[in-house]
């Protein structure tokens, strides 16, 4: 992405953790972490990074905000098959190569 974010890493087998799903979907939409954190209600990027890094789970309130900003239902984010999450990642890669990421969904 434009600000040199590290691309999400999908585990080769087993369940894809929630934080990885959130990061992959954010990557798909092309939203910078700093902007995402701000749009969620002025959370610190480090807090969002810990959630995306699967160190912490978001509160129910924050999870609702996340799914709204990621334009996806709770169920779809949590239960999307591996192939769907991989597609989000691939589309995000293509957008990044073309420089078509947006700064924010709010701005």
| Structural domains in the chain plus CATH codes | 18-95 (1.10.260.40)
Q: Check residues 98 and 66 and name the one with the higher pLDDT.
A: 66
Neighbours of 104 (CB within 10 A): 13
Instruction: Give me the pLDDT at residue 100, please.
Output: 60
Global pTM value: 0.87
Which residues make beta-bridge pairs with 31?
102
Instruction: Give me the pLDDT at residue 4, please.
Output: 63
Close Cβ partners of 86 (under 8 Å, ≥ 6 residues apart): 10
Instruction: Give me the pLDDT at residue 102, please.
Output: 57
pLDDT tens sequence across 13-43: 899 999 999 999 999 998 989 999 999 998 9
């Amino acid at each position: 992405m434009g600000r040199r974010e590290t691309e999400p890493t999908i585990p080769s087998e087993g369940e894809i953790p929630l934080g990885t799903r959130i990061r992959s979907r954010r990557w798909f939409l092309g939203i910078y972490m700093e902007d995402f954190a701000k749009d969620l209600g002025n959370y610190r990027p480090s807090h969002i990074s810990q959630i995306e890094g699967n160190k912490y789970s978001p509160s129910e309130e924050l999870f609702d905000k996340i799914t709204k900003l990621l334009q996806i239902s709770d169920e779809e984010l949590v239960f999307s098959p591996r192939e769907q999450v991989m597609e989000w990642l691939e589309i995000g890669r293509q957008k990044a190569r073309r420089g078509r990421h947006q700064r924010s969904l709010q701005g």
